[in-house]
Amino acid sequence: MANILVTTIPMFGHIYPMIPIVKELLKRGHNIKWIIEKKFKDEIEEDPIIYKYMDENKFSIFVNKSQLGHKPIDFSLINIFNNYDKLKTQIKYTFYDYTLLQIPIIKDSMKDFTPSIILTDCIYIASLLIAKEKKIPCVVLGIIPYTAKSKNTAPYGIGWRPTNNIISHHRNYFMHFIVKSIYLNNFFSYIKNKENEIIRLLSSFRIEVLSKESFFDTFTNLCDLYIQASIEELEYDRENLDSKFHFIGPSIYKPKKISSNHKQLINTIKSKKPLIFVTQGSVDNDNPNLLISCFEAFKNKKEITLVMDVPKKHQPDFCDNCPKNIEVTNELPYHYIIPHIDIFITNGGFGGVQLALSHGIPIIVAGRTDDKGEVAARIAWSKCGINLKTSNPSSRKIRKATKKILNKSIYKLEAEKIGNIIKNKNAPKTACDLMNKLIG
């Protein structure tokens, strides 16, 4: 039996994949303390086995994304060169200032709980630093496409598909050099000039090691075990995968709660074909451009039924003149609707994408921010969907992609192939079996 401290960024896409693994650890008799913000604790309090182990730590500084301060980062090549100052500021906040806020929260949680292992999501850098300082084994759960650098891949975020020839290797080397020179060197110069907890935790040799690598290699370099919540068939071939890296399959959490309105909606539309579901996610939705384009693409197309998951703040824009073939809803649990649909249109959240693929549903992705460009590129690479290569697609482009998927069986066949692979995975069991080897 071990004491396991769990840390997750306060966003649904980071918390949901952790829940099945935490439940499995609890079933095996381990003691869990999970640092989680009250908003999310209330969201999953239906699960007593999880709820009673949640830390009551004051986490109010991260109540929502506006206080969190994170704005989706566009890593596209054009943005890297055209919006240098803006992107540099966003990176500094996300990977430095935010880490500075996390450190005291973890230390406070450890006053009455001595962890024998720390389990964290792959963006929670503070856990990696403290685990290294305290010599506590640290396990990272990868909930986005794998980030580590490879000669076969371009810098993370650009969304270029992998290649395996000399010319492309030189291209990738050059792009890694550019990104490191423009952003990472500036970032490390910035943090070296700060006198605070991060600098104390990052010894001088560690800063030197990190500054020589891709910043995203930090997660692999500092952890003892990296468990990727995905499958090999959705990840690029790499010649240099670290031995501590393991695919465990998607870790999919299915909330039990569903409103009577949502139940009624699903019962009404589940037999209509073709049925399309579109979402712009829970974070990058201030500008509902994808939703607007889908609405324009399918309005009055009687042969298609479109279900739109629209944030409340944008609902008036769609509900006033909504045609009969379009249903507008809010916070519809994905796992209730996805088994019935024919196409999933998304801005590229990795959790929703893998849930759709687990049911063999082909995907249209329109996303460029944060990890979404990488998700979109992997969907196109695996032939289970179409990458629109933009966050702001035209209605014409969406109609064209939809027609292509409906008329060509290759997308459905490849999605079903991946779905069958996912069904044979047991992420919580595999994750806990690997962690047991660290626990001893």
Domains of the chain and CATH, by start:
3-249+425-439 (3.40.50.2000), 260-423 (3.40.50.2000)
> Can you tell me the mean pLDDT for 358-376?
91
Report the pLDDT value the prediction gives residue 66, as an integer from 0 to 100.
Answer: 36
For residues 324 and 78, give the distance between their C-alpha atoms in angstroms, rounded to a whole number.
40
- pTM of the predicted protein model: 0.87
H or E stretch at 376:
helix 372-381
> Which has the closest alpha carbon to 344: 385, 303, 285, 289?
385
Half-sphere exposure of 98 (CA within 13 A, CB side): 21
The angle, 0 to 180 degrees and rounded to 10, between the axes of the packed helices 350-358 and 409-423 is 90
For residue 324, what are its two tokens? Answer: 């009969």
Q: How confident is the model at residue 425 (pLDDT cuts 50, 70, 90)?
A: very high
Check: CB of residue 12 under 8 Å from CB of residue 37: no
| Assigned token pair, 84 | 């240098």
- Name the β-bridge partners of 308: 278, 328
Q: Helices marked H in 202-337 — which ranges?
A: 204-212, 218-222, 260-269, 289-298, 315-319, 334-337
Q: Which of 12, 123, 102 is nearest to 370 (CA)?
A: 123
Q: Residues 99-102: contacts with CB within 8 Å, 24+ apart? A: 99/125, 99/126, 99/129, 99/198, 100/196, 100/197, 100/198, 101/61, 101/62, 102/7, 102/126, 102/127
- For 169-196, how does the pLDDT look when each residue is reduced to its tens digit (9 = 90+)? 777 777 777 777 666 666 556 555 555 5
**What pLDDT, in 10s, does the model give residues 31-69?**
888 887 766 766 666 555 554 445 444 444 333 333 344
pLDDT in tens, 270-293: 888 899 999 987 776 677 889 999
Q: Is the pLDDT of residue 404 over 90?
A: yes
Q: What pLDDT digit, counting tens, does each position of 254-267 carry?
A: 877 788 888 888 98
With H, G, I as helix, E, B as strand and everything else as coil, classify residue 432.
helix
CA dihedral 326, 332, 338, 342 (to 10 degrees): 10
| 3-class secondary structure, 232 | helix
Q: Which amino acid is at 161?
A: R
